[in-house]
Amino acid sequence: MFSLRSIARGAAVATVLAAASAGSQTPPTPPTEGAAVPAETAPAPVKASPKLMTMNELLAASKPSDWRQTNPEHLLYLSLATGKVVIELNPNFAPRHVANILKLARAHWYDGIAVLRVQDNFVAQWGDPLNAKPEVGEKRLPAEFTRPAANLPFVRLIDVDTYAAEVGFSDGMPVARREWGGLGEAWPVHCYGAVGVGRDNDPATAVGTELYAVIGQAPRQLDRNAAIVGRVIFGMELLSALPRGGAPLGFYNQPEQREPIQSVRVAADLPASERLPLEVFRTDTKTFQKLVEIRRNRQDAWYKVPAGRIDICNVPIPVRERR
């Protein structure tokens, strides 16, 4: 995701970003591992089962051990006039970026900035509209677009993916991975609700002063081109329902159209009484595998032909208030 300042400075950067968000005008580049995805990664046909429960029934029957409590040290509360958005940060993939974002939040740097552009079926992006905020934290950071796959918990999805050799879940994040030159690497993917770091052409300019959330269909062409630091787990509708900007790339035509960000706080810094008691469905359990199968082969009364396959970004990761 390109920096807002970079877009404003030159049409060249705007052209690049417009191409990135244009959708599927050209076929996606296939994985470059040099070998086709093995046939065994494709899901075997599944016969419809009349006894397969619905997702709501599965969640109602779930056990406390199927859920995990959120870590308040990794939660951001972003306050808009319309309510609160909760972002769960994941330092497993971009630890230096997450650390700097927490530093910015604790310095109240985000207070008073604004959502500057909302591009339909793409992203909502926020930052300092006047570039007048004092410098806090890191000035440049190395790219954290991927990480070594070694020692990373990974629950593989058996379905074939267009953009990666393998996809699955790690600590509640949709993730892709591949083997390359004898080494494995992994990266989070741009599903709905993913939160990434805006940057200029130079990857080192991504430090967390500009963030975006995916509000449309998964723009997977951004994978491995931006640092994903987490995902929205509560209040996503407050971002996705924002008015779309009328200027190119979804920028607002007038400053008064921008959505002000009242504050951003780290949950751990708030009294316990002010924290939302959220818990997230674990992605490393047999119950979650059942959820995936329910979504892969819908048995709801409305569905007549189960798909038999599922895309990584179409697998929901439920969140609820702790009982």
**Banded pLDDT at 141 (limits 50, 70, 90):** very high
**Banded pLDDT at 53 (limits 50, 70, 90):** confident
88 in Cβ contact with 213 (< 8 Å): no
User: Residue 218's closest CA among 167, 279, 281?
Assistant: 167
Look at residue 179 in the predicted model and tell me its pLDDT. 81
**Banded pLDDT at 4 (limits 50, 70, 90):** low
User: Residue 121's closest CA among 20, 255, 261, 7?
Assistant: 20
**Banded pLDDT at 42 (limits 50, 70, 90):** very low
Q: Which two tokens stand for residue 57?
A: 């029934």
CA dist 3 → 95, 206, 288, 303 (Å): 20, 8, 37, 43
Ordered by start, the domain boundaries in the chain are 4-23+49-321
Half-sphere exposure of 156 (CA within 13 A, CB side): 14
Which of helix, strand or coil describes residue 98? helix
Which of helix, strand or coil describes residue 5? helix
pLDDT in tens, 64-104: 999 999 999 999 999 999 999 999 999 999 999 999 999 99
Sheet holding 319-321, edge to edge: 67-69, 278-281, 319-321
End-to-end alpha-carbon separation of the chain, Å?
Answer: 37
pLDDT in tens, 288-316: 999 999 999 998 889 999 999 999 999 99
User: Residue 89's closest CA among 188, 230, 228?
Assistant: 230
CB-based contacts of 305, cutoff 8 Å, min separation 6? none
125 in Cβ contact with 212 (< 8 Å): yes
Lowest mean pLDDT among 1-5, 21-25, 51-55, 189-193: 21-25
- Mean per-residue pLDDT for 42-52? 53
Name the CATH code of domain 4-23+49-321 (choices 3.40.190.10, 2.40.100.10, 3.40.50.10320, 3.20.20.70): 2.40.100.10
pTM given for the model: 0.85
25 in Cβ contact with 274 (< 8 Å): no
DSSP string, 144-178: -S-EE-TT---EEE-S--SS-SEEEEETTEEEEEE
